[in-house]
Amino acid sequence: MIQVIEATKTFNAGRPNAYSALRGVNCTISAGGLTVLKGPSGSGKTTLLTLIGCMARPTSGRIILSAGVAGALPDFAGAGEIEITSLPERFLTGIRRLAFGFIFQQFNLVRGITVLENVMLPGYPLGGNHAALKKRALELLDQFGIARHAASQVELLSGGEAQRVAIARALINDPLLVIADEPTAHLDSALSHGFLEMVAGLKSAGKTILITSHDPIVYQSPLADSVIEMRDGVIVGDGAGGGAAA
């Protein structure tokens, strides 16, 4: 689904404080499974996540989206695979909106508006029918058991409820790939296992899921099809997760 080829990312290039967060990374994110990027803070896993999700560009190297992804994007229908490395920003914006759903570590819900409005937000730039968007948002909230909070302000939610809202928001545009950055970092064990139950549902629905985590509850889960271990900006291990066949 996604190929990363010799990707590097250097911050403050050419300055005395230059820092290489990624150094020649090669990996493949397969369609329809759960891939976990494992590693300690500073290993480069979040940087790699941002490159794959079109939120940043590599300093060098290539990132290629498969023809299956391209076929779901109006700007690239029938174009075959897409190398996103040097695409203009307007194309990357479209890819982010249609191909990816993002779940951030801090959830990044917008305070001062309702749960329902938060879930609907990513759908507004697509310019679709408002009533249809609202209906889909309510269905997602119902799917995750939080429809009763649709009219509540997000600041009144518990941690687990806020995470469910964040997942619903990530799915509002029916993305091909769901990206989550340390989704269990601020959750207790019970809520972390609850998150994985939701991931199981996403896998069953055919979503491709990419998660960064240094939480053993996540990377040792039998749901994981592939675990990519990173340290100091390079991949030090790449193998089948607990959910892959031996």
Cβ neighbourhood burial of 105 (10 Å; 0-12, 13-18, 19+): middle
- How far is 180 from 94, CA to CA, in rounded Å? 19
Query: Is residue 124 one of the residues assigned to a domain?
Result: yes
pLDDT of residue 228: 96
Pairwise pLDDT comparison (78 vs 147), residue with the higher score? 147
Q: In what helix (H) or strand (E) does residue 24 lie, and over which residues does it extend?
A: strand 19-29
pLDDT of residue 243: 59
pLDDT exceeds cutoff 70 at 242: no
Query: Is residue 36 one of the residues assigned to a domain?
Result: yes
Integer-rounded Cα Rg, in Å, for the chain is 18
Average pLDDT over residues 84-94: 87
pLDDT exceeds cutoff 70 at 218: yes
In the sheet that 34-38 helps form, which strands lie side by side, from edge to edge?
100-103, 177-181, 208-213, 34-38, 226-231, 234-240
Query: Is residue 245 one of the residues assigned to a domain?
Result: no
pLDDT tens-place string over residues 33-59: 999 999 998 999 999 999 999 999 999
Query: Is residue 26 one of the residues assigned to a domain?
Result: yes
pLDDT of residue 1: 84
**Where do the H-state alpha helices sit in 144-188?**
159-171
Q: How many CA atoms are closer than 13 Å to the CA of 59, on its beta-carbon side?
A: 16
Cross-strand partners of 178: 101, 209
pLDDT exceeds cutoff 50 at 245: no
- How many distinct structural domains can be found in the chain? 1
Query: Which range, of 81-95, 212-226, 231-245, averages the lowest pLDDT?
Result: 231-245
Query: Which range, of 36-40, 80-84, 181-185, 221-225, averages the lowest pLDDT?
Result: 80-84
The range of the structural domain enclosing residue 166 comes to: 2-240
Q: What CATH number does residue 213 fall under?
A: 3.40.50.300
Contact between residue 125 and residue 94 where contact means Cβ atoms under 8 Å apart:
no
Task: Give the amino acid at 45.
Answer: K
Query: Is residue 246 one of the residues assigned to a domain?
Result: no
What pTM was computed for the model? 0.88
